[in-house]
Amino acid sequence: MERAGRGVLEGAFALLEALEQVGEAGLTTLAAESGLPKSSAHRLLDQLIALGAVERSGGVYRMGARVFRLGRTWQPYPGLLAAATGPVRRLARTTGATVGISVLREGQAMAVAGVPGELGDAVPLRPGLMWPWSTAAGKVLVATAPPGLPIGPMPASWRWAAAEIRERGAAFDHEELSPGVCCAAVPLYGPRGDVIASLCAVVPPRRDLSRLADALTRTSRVVGAALRRAPSPSHSPASAPSPAVPPEHPNVPAR
């Protein structure tokens, strides 16, 4: 019975993930994308519609409002978005950069929040957006994470690159992912000194990434201080503590 219930849940999530990818689609497409038999997909979609998780217009399905409402409450650490919203907006306003907060999920960097800057159209940091871990935001997270992440084989040079990131307290991306796009990123620390997310700023190539990293580090300290003042959460963050530099004394990047 338990196995059957798990199978139903897995099928429902497969359909929701398919909808996330395609936006909206008919039954045949969703069945193919989710890997479910068409009859099973139809039955599960009807159940998801009854729960408000999926909506149907004619023969086309799309994500429902209930999933949207529930998804907006998620964050990688309790109180992080409340503590970070003001400082992140000020950083974006004073630097002109597109500023975002990211976490590692499924071996990739996932945006949790973002404020657009001068490259906002080219690099929209929408919540839920995924990109390779090898960006500056992802490299900070991988370098400060516990071993055993499900990322796959790492480049031979990564050991030294990760040590340099930990030493500097920042990672950089010089048009490595997209031409005309550079990025600096630093860790965001929780109250216990563990890295709970990364804070990144995306700018054109002409910008000084070292100075940008300094500004990111100052903002990270402000967010960390706000989290330490907040009431203690009732549960631990999703990621385990890392041996990263404590937020009170992060290294100032020099590049």
* DSSP secondary structure letters along 110-121: EEEEEE--TTTT
Of residues 139 and 250, more confidently modeled: 139
- Give the pLDDT confidence of 121-134 residue by residue, as tens digits: 667 777 778 888 88
Confidence check: pLDDT of 137 > 50: yes
* β-strands 24-25, 54-57 pairing: unpaired
pLDDT at 149: 72
For residue 236, pLDDT beyond 50:
no
pTM greater than 0.75: no
Nearest to 245 by CA among 184, 187, 172: 187
Give the mean model confidence (pLDDT) for residues 29-37.
93
Tens digit of pLDDT for each residue in 42-60? Answer: 999 999 999 999 999 888 9
Task: Write out the H or E segment, with its range, that includes residue 65.
Answer: helix 65-71
For 178, list phi and psi in degrees, rounded to 5: -140, 135
The whole-number pLDDT of residue 72 equals 66
Average pLDDT, the chain: 83
